[in-house]
Amino acid sequence: KQEVTQIPAALSVPEGENLVLNCSFTDSAIYNLQWFRQDPGKGLTSLLLIQSSQREQTSGRLNASLDKSSGRSTLYIAASQPGDSATYLCDQNSGGSNYKLTFGKGTLLTVNP
Amino acid sequence: DTAVSQTPKYLVTQMGNDKSIKCEQNLGHDTMYWYKQDSKKFLKIMFSYNNKELIINETVPNRFSPKSPDKAHLNLHINSLELGDSAVYFCASSLSFLGYTFGSGTRLTVV
């Protein structure tokens, strides 16, 4: 059974700090991994998608890495801002005939001004 | 311009009623999904359709029936609504295994 775990469940940091969110997955047959953010009462916004052949992806202040051998992905946020406050979710897609995503429970990030 | 649009955004209804949620995507994706996010914010897949064919049907009560009239639409019909059905329902789409795009959600409250 696929499982995705995100640590920590919640994180509060002062503005300007660099931070790392962690995601671990149990299914080694990973096709890609995607990071999303969800604002309160809103839908999911895709941040970064890493294919299994890639080791990292960058978008602005965000950098996501993928280590298939250890079953881990990290989302690095540089110079955090209050607008980064949201729940961050990672999901694993195992590909094959299995078109479903397995989500972690998310990390609730609060960036304090 | 919304890529994945769901209607309605909010739905409040009484127990025992039948309701539908509609989803449309204009991205040219071939796969569409319904996810349920419960009160603990955990996202769980319910159904997935690829080219109008059902490919994933998780352990969901048969009161829930998805319908995909074409590749751009995936509707969710729920019969005999129960209190436990209260949740946020998200529609999503993808092009095969490439990145997923989610709708903004439908908050269903059963009273």
- Mean residue pLDDT across chain A: 89
**Per-residue pLDDT tens digits for B9-26:** 999 999 999 999 999 999
- If one compares B32 and A95, the residue with the highest pLDDT of the two is B32
List residues in chain B touching A: CB distance below 8 A.
31, 33, 40-45, 48, 50, 55-56, 58, 90, 92, 94, 97-105, 107
Pairing status of strand A107-112 against strand A62-67: unpaired
Q: CA distances (Å), B47 to each of A80, B17, B32, B76, in order?
A: 36, 21, 8, 9
Q: What percent of chain B is predicted at pLDDT more than 90?
A: 62
Other Cβ atoms closer than 10 A to B55: 15
Spacing of C-alpha B82 from chain mean position: 17
Q: How far is B103 from chain A (nearest CA, A)?
A: 6
Query: Does B101 sit within 8 Å of A46, measured CB to CB?
Result: yes
Of B61 and A1, the structure prediction assigns the larger pLDDT to B61
- Residues from chain B that touch A87, judged by Cβ atoms under 8 A, are 41
Model confidence band, residue A99 (pLDDT cutoffs 50, 70, 90): low
Q: Of A36, A87, A101, which is closest to B41 when you measure between CB atoms?
A: A87
Q: Using the beta-carbon criterion (under 8 Å), do B98 and A101 form an inter-chain contact?
A: no
Provide the pLDDT for residue B28: 92
- pLDDT interval class at B2 (50, 70, 90): low
Q: What is the pLDDT of residue A100?
A: 62
DSSP for A45-57?
EEEEEEETT-SEE
> Looking at CA atoms only, how far is residue A45 from chain B in angstroms?
7
Q: List the end-to-end C-alpha distance of chain B, in Å, as a whole number.
A: 33
* Nearest C-alpha in A relative to B41: A105
